[in-house]
Amino acid sequence: MFPAKPRPLPLKTLHLLRHAKAVEGSPDETDHARPLAKRGVAAVGALAQHLKDSAFTVDRVFSSTSKRTRETYELLAPVLDGASIAYRDRLYLVDASDLVDFIQGLPDAAASVMLIGHNPTFHNVALTLTKGAARGHAEELTALREKFPTCAMCSLDFDVAHWRQIKAGGGILTSFLRPRDLDSD
C-alpha cells in the first residue's frame, strides 16, 4: 500500500490594483471626487487589453468608492467576464492593518479577488504580504519594492484554504504589471 499523498491546499489569489492616474485636485473638489486624467484612461485601456489577451479571470472585485477607482473599474469591467463588483467606503484611504483585516474577511467562495484602491496602503500591504516571487518574477519583485505606480497591479498567490489564513509574508508574487510594462504590448 502506498502512503497517501498530501492534498494541496486550495489556492487564493489576490490582485491589488492601484487606481489609474487622476487629475490634480482643485480647491472646489474633494479628493474623493477626483476623476481619471487622460493618461490614466489610456493606462487602464492598455491594462484591459493585456488582461483580455492573457485570459485573465477573477471571481470578485471590491473597490474604493472614490471616483477614480470607480472609473478604473468601469474601464476594466468589459474584460472581467462578469465578475461581481462591490464598492466599499472602507477601502477609501484605508490603513494597512485595516486592509489586511478586509482581505482576511473576503468570502471563501471567491478563489481570486481584485481590490481597487489607493497608495500608500496598497504598496505597504503588497510588501507586507509578499514572502518572495514565483520563479521568473524576481525582477517584478524588485520593481514592486521600489514603487507601486498608478494603474499598477500586483498579483499574489497564497497556499491557504481560507482568506482568514492570509498573513504577513504568506504570499508569492506571480505578477507585477505597471503601465510602462504594457507600452510595448
Domain boundaries, the chain: 12-22+31-182
What percent of the chain shows pLDDT beyond 90?
83
Res 61 pLDDT > 60: yes
Of 3.10.20.600, 3.40.50.1240, 3.30.1860.10, 3.40.50.150, which CATH number belongs to 12-22+31-182? 3.40.50.1240
Instruction: Check residue 29 and give its pLDDT.
Output: 74
Q: How far apart (Å, rounded) are the C-alpha atoms in residues 56 and 113? A: 12
Q: What is the arithmetic mean of pLDDT over 27-44?
A: 89
Question: Which residue, among 78, 79, 174, has the nearest Cα to 130 in the 3D structure?
Answer: 174
Amino acid at 133: A
Instruction: Check residue 67 and give its pLDDT.
Output: 96
Instruction: Check residue 185 and give its pLDDT.
Output: 41
Question: Which residue, among 100, 145, 144, has the nearest Cα to 121 in the 3D structure?
Answer: 100
Are the C-beta atoms of 152 and 72 separated by less than 8 Å? no
All three cell numbers of 162, joined, read 481560507
Summary mean pLDDT of the chain? 92
How sure is the predictor about 1, in pLDDT bands with cuts at 50, 70 and 90? very low
Q: How far apart (Å, rounded) are the C-alpha atoms in residues 94 and 106? A: 16
